[in-house]
A and B are shown apart, each in its own frame.
Chain A
């Protein structure tokens, strides 16, 4: 018997009972949504942690050899950035400063000081790829001005607007504009200031001379046509070992690797995805097993008129596949709204399309086919004669 001949049967089996089809699809959809959710949480955390890194407008970076996550910034002397300018393939090397743990902004409404991550660079260097910052360059070049992230947590900072005057690190600063970057699991808010204002607010970063300034990231733009990996190797060979040269992609991958593998949070959501898969398989098995049981007389009839076990098996598997696809579509639709709700509640970037949708699809199909194959074992033992006894 041709496989194509079975497709309508599998499909008709699936859609015969409308209420049951709804319940079956809902079961698989929930399983898919569960996996989307757990994986989405994990990706959201990883994406949020590398958001700043991915906005850096450069191909290679210098970081302290000590640095293992940008959430715990470590510094190296400005001298290394200056030395990098002489390395072959380097078009420009500029310092980027960041303070994450010890910087406070006084919320002008409540008067309470709130921890904020501050990023500083020379406005002319244009190191972060954020249009609002580029356009307002003249504004935040002035002394004692900051640009504030409008996606900062409102409960802590209130709503940032140009014209607000308050204190950053205990010194008077004025908000002159806003930009959209986003928060992560370590930071509740972001500010960007010029390199001069960075030294005003955090004199610890300054040194007796420019070369002694404490830099957190050295951003390097390569010459047109230069391979970033070769520039990285040239930098590593030339500079003293207190700094590490990384391509921007390596830097983002290292940061993701830390949060995914070393910090507990990534592991926890991995376990969630695995559990979602297990629960989903159990749901699919339930759905298909009860369907096969109900149709046992029909399958036995088919067997009696000469269909092979393998042919019946294929019918159940085809049905499982359709169920997987329907459930996946419904699950993705549910997840779309769930993701939006989670984004509103946590401020984390929740992006369905960026969230390995094909891996979830593969897992959904795998779980339905596996459950279907297991449920269909009953067909093998089905004896047509017994059913009509």
Chain B
């Protein structure tokens, strides 16, 4: 064979050396994917709260900070917004943190409430069976008009399936993806639910991601909400969700900014979600820490890739010298090196994705945050690996050119 696939054979027949190189690069790429996953989790949970809501334009108080601290505004602003020709409907959303009575475990013989909490790992190993005292914890409660629930499926489907139940005062829906402490698992056996100082009944569930800010969510009818959370009347709302005629979002936002008093802000759906993500990623310490984590992990991965490839080249140097002596040009050898670096990166990346998938699942189970491997993050990681791999490969070409290959013997 005139052109033996040298690069391939170096990798495939390298034995333990190849395995060491591939695992080294793979683990550092897992670290990068993990840090990117954390940052992505911040984005996902930030965007998700608005993504489950059915609206084109959002009205908020000027005090609006982020979804969990929305501020208050008068219902009157929604009526005023309806006077704009392009606005088709306006639904209020009442939303605030509320105290929830979390069932103990075991239900009949809970431990005392002075013991320290079990670690995440211990809780994960014990599943919902880990013992915990009766306690009150904060969850995020949302109230809405039952005749026009401002949610998108699948939450809308869950609401419609339980509509009759929700019309009874004191009946609520609990997030099925809540932190286990909030007791979704005990819904059939526990009956003494309380929200703030009112006894409630969990008549069903819905599925909504939980994030860094709220461990659980509850949905209830607006009348219940204002009664239980002490809002006084339905006239004070937290968010105004507007549906507009198709294609008129920008015009409506401009018209609302013109017409409404300056105690409210109008933003489009895209703008709202972008602002929320920006807040959590760029303006909170949590987002910044994860962003720095991504940068540090990438630096480490670059160092590891360079180490691995330069080690590999050094080990193969006598072979390259032999090839050179046989008449291979420097550029041809460089091609082999670069191809070999690419092969290493491809294998390492495949291994890294498989390992990262497992680490992602473990993180979801342990920390309860949504971890998703997005195409953008995969592409970014692969591009990083490939770029550093190629640069490292190319740097070592210099050694081949230096001409003192004879020294190697």
Residue numbers of A with Cβ under 8 A of B are 23, 26-27, 30-31, 33-34, 37-38, 41, 44-45, 48, 65-66, 68, 72, 74, 101, 104, 112-115, 155, 183-185, 244, 253-254, 257-258, 261-268, 270-272, 275-276, 278-279, 282-283, 285-287, 289-290, 293-294, 338, 342, 345-348
Chain A residue, CB-CB nearest to B297: A34
Bound form: Cα–Cα A265–B223 in Å:
35
Q: 8 tightest A-B contacts by CB?
A: A267-B367, A264-B367, A267-B120, A290-B311, A346-B285, A282-B27, A30-B300, A66-B136
- Confirm or deny: B308 has a beta carbon within 8 angstroms of a beta carbon on chain A: yes
Q: How far is the CA of A189 from the CA of B239 in the complex (A)?
A: 25
Measured in the bound complex, the distance between the Cα atoms of B307 and A342 in whole Å is 27
**Residue pair A286, B24 in contact (C-beta under 8 Å):** yes
CA distance A324 to B363 in the complex (A): 29
Instruction: Tell me if A264 and B369 are in contact (CB < 8 A).
Output: yes
- A271 adjacent to B366 (CB under 8 Å): yes
- 9 extra interface residue pairs, beta carbon distance < 8 Å, beyond A30-B304, A262-B179, A271-B366: A37-B293, A185-B286, A257-B116, A275-B30, A282-B24, A286-B20, A293-B315, A342-B288, A346-B285
Chain B residues within 8 Å of A285, by CB: 20, 24
* Assembled-state Cα–Cα distance A253/B114 (Å): 12
Contact A348 B368 (CB under 8 A): no
With A66-B99, A101-B69 in contact, is A41–B181 under 8 Å at CB? no
- Cβ 8 A contact of B28, one of A68, A267, A279, A293: A279
List chain A residues, Cβ under 8 A from B359: 271, 275
Q: Are A275 and B117 in contact, CB atoms less than 8 angstroms apart? A: no
Contacts of A34 in B (CB 8 A): 31, 296-297, 300
Partner of A272, one of B17, B34, B116, B369: B34
Are A264 and B31 within 8 A (Cβ)? no
Knowing A72-B97, A261-B120, A262-B181 touch, does A268 contact B367 (C-beta < 8 A)? yes
Q: Which of A23, A45, A257 contacts B307 (CB 8 A)?
A: A23
Q: Is the CB of B293 within 8 A of A272?
A: yes
Contact indicator B314/A290 (Cβ below 8 Å)? yes
Asked if B117 and A279 sit within 8 Å, CB to CB, the answer is: no
Q: Chain A CB within 10 Å — which of B118, B137, B367, B369 has the most?
A: B367
Residues of B within 8 A of A38 (CB): 293
Residue of chain A at shortest CB distance from B123: A261
Provide the B357-382 mask, 1 if CB < 8 A to any CB of A, else 0. 00100110011110000000000000
Please, how many angstroms separate the alpha-carbon atoms of A72 and B96 in the complex? 13
**Complex partner residue of A342 from B17, B118, B136, B289, CB under 8 angstroms:** B289
Q: Is the CB of B367 within 8 A of A271?
A: yes
Query: How far apart are B78's CB and chain A's nearest CB, in angstroms?
Result: 21
Question: Secondary structure of the B side of the interface?
Answer: helix
List, in ascending order, chain A residues with CB within 8 A of B285's CB.
45, 48, 183-185, 346-348
Distance between A88 CB and nearest chain B CB, rounded to angstroms:
21
A68-B136 Cα distance, complex, nearest whole Å: 8
**Alpha-carbon distance between A104 and B65 when the two chains are bound, in angstroms:** 11
> Are B297's CB and A289's CB within 8 A?
no
A346 to B173 CA separation, bound complex (whole angstroms): 37
Instruction: Indicate if B292 sits at the interface (CB-CB under 8 A).
Output: yes
Assuming the contacts A267-B120, A275-B359, asked whether A282 and B69 have C-beta atoms less than 8 A apart, the reply is: no
Measured as residues with beta carbon below 8 angstroms from the partner, the interface class of chain B is 35 or more
- Are B65 and A268 interface neighbours, CB within 8 A? no
Contact call B65/A115, Cβ cutoff below 8 A:
yes
B138 near A72 (CB under 8 angstroms)?
Answer: yes
* B283 part of interface (Cβ distance < 8 Å): yes
Contacts of B179 in A (CB 8 A): 262
CB distance B366 to A267 under 8 Å? yes
* Residue contact A265 to B286, C-beta cutoff 8 Å: yes
Report Cα–Cα, A184/B289, bound state, in Å.
Answer: 12
Contact check, B292 vs A113: say whether CB atoms are below 8 A apart.
no
Q: Chain A binding site: helix, strand, loop or mixed by DSSP? A: helix
Q: Bound state CA distance, A270 and B308, in angstroms?
A: 27
Chain B contacts with A in 49-101, Cβ cutoff 8 A? 62-63, 65, 69, 71, 97, 99
Asked whether, in the complex, the Cβ of B300 is within 8 Å of the Cβ of A31, the reply is yes
Contacts of A37 in B (CB 8 A): 292-293, 296
Q: CA separation between A318 and B284, bound complex, in Å?
A: 45
Interchain CA distance A30-B136 in the complex, whole Å: 43
Does B330 interact with chain A (Cβ within 8 Å)?
Answer: no
A267 to B179, CA, bound (A): 14
Shortest distance in angstroms between B300's beta carbon and chain A's nearest beta carbon? 5
- Can you list 30 A-B pairs, Cβ within 8 angstroms, ordered by A? A26-B303, A30-B303, A34-B31, A34-B297, A34-B300, A37-B292, A37-B293, A41-B289, A41-B292, A66-B135, A68-B136, A72-B97, A101-B69, A113-B71, A183-B285, A244-B114, A257-B117, A262-B181, A263-B215, A267-B120, A267-B366, A271-B363, A272-B35, A278-B27, A279-B27, A279-B304, A282-B28, A283-B28, A283-B304, A286-B21
The CA of A113 and the CA of B212, in the complex, are separated in Å by 23
A345 surroundings in chain B (CB, below 8 A): 288, 292
**Does B3 sit at the interface, judged by CB under 8 A?**
no
A residues in contact with B71, CB < 8 Å: 113
* Distance in Å: Cβ of B178 to nearest Cβ of chain A: 13
Name the A residues within 8 Å of B293 (CB-CB): 37-38, 41, 272
Chain A nearest Cβ from B386, distance in angstroms: 19
B23 contacts the other chain (CB 8 A): yes
Q: Which residues of B contact A261 (CB under 8 A)?
A: 116-120, 123
Task: Give Cα A101 to B303, complex, Å.
Answer: 44
- Measured in the bound complex, the distance between the Cα atoms of B181 and A234 in whole Å is 31
B113 contacts the other chain (CB 8 A): yes
Say yes or no for B38: interface residue by CB 8 A criterion.
yes
Question: Whole-angstrom distance between the alpha carbons of A265 and B71 in the complex?
Answer: 25
Bound-state CA distance A261–B118 (Å) is: 7
How far is it, in angstroms, between the C-alpha of A30 and the C-alpha of B368 when the chains are bound? 29
Q: Which residues of A contact B114 (CB under 8 A)?
A: 244
Q: Which residues of chain A are within 8 angstroms of B164 by Cβ–Cβ distance?
A: none
Given known A264-B369, A346-B285, contact A115–B117 (CB-CB < 8 A): no
CB of A22 to closest CB in B, whole Å: 11
